[in-house]
Amino acid sequence: MDRRLSIAPMMDWTDRHCRAFHRALTSRALLYTEMVTAPAVIHGDRERLLGFDPVEHPVALQLGGSDPEQLAEAARIGEAFGYDEINLNVGCPSDRVQSGRFGACLMREPALVADCMASIRAAVSVPATVKCRIGVDDQDPEVSLFETVDACAAIGVDVFIVHARKAWLQGLSPKENRDVPPLDYGLVRRLKRERPHLSVTINGGVASLGEAEAHLDAADGVQLDGVMLGRAAYHEPGILGQADRRLFGASTPDVDAFEAIDRYRPYMAARLSEGVHLPAMTRHMLGLMHGRPGARAFRRILTVEAVKAGSGLEVVDRAVDAVREAEARMEPRTEAA
**Given its phi and psi angles, is residue 289 left (phi above 0), alpha (psi -120 to 50 degrees) or beta?**
alpha
Task: Give yes or no for a contact between 264 and 24, defined as CB atoms under 8 angstroms apart.
Answer: yes
Question: How far is it, in rounded angstroms, from Cα 128 to Cα 117?
Answer: 7
Of 92, 116, 132, 152, the active-site residue reads 92
Burial group, residue 133, by CB count within 10 angstroms (0-12, 13-18, 19+): buried
CA 86 – CA 126 distance, rounded (Å): 7
Burial of 27 (0-12, 13-18, 19+ CB in 10 A): middle
Q: Is 18 a catalytic residue?
A: no
CA separation for the pair 167, 171 (Å, rounded): 10
Distance CA 8, CA 10 (A): 6
What 8-state DSSP symbol labels residue 111?
H
Between CA 187 and CA 198 the distance in angstroms is: 15
Helices and strands (H and E) in the chain: how many: 15, 11
DSSP secondary structure string for all residues of 157-195: --EEEEESSEE-TTT--TTGGGTSSPP-HHHHHHHHHH-
The most distant pair of C-alpha atoms in the chain lies apart, rounded to whole Å, by 69
What amino acid positions are annotated as catalytic residues?
92
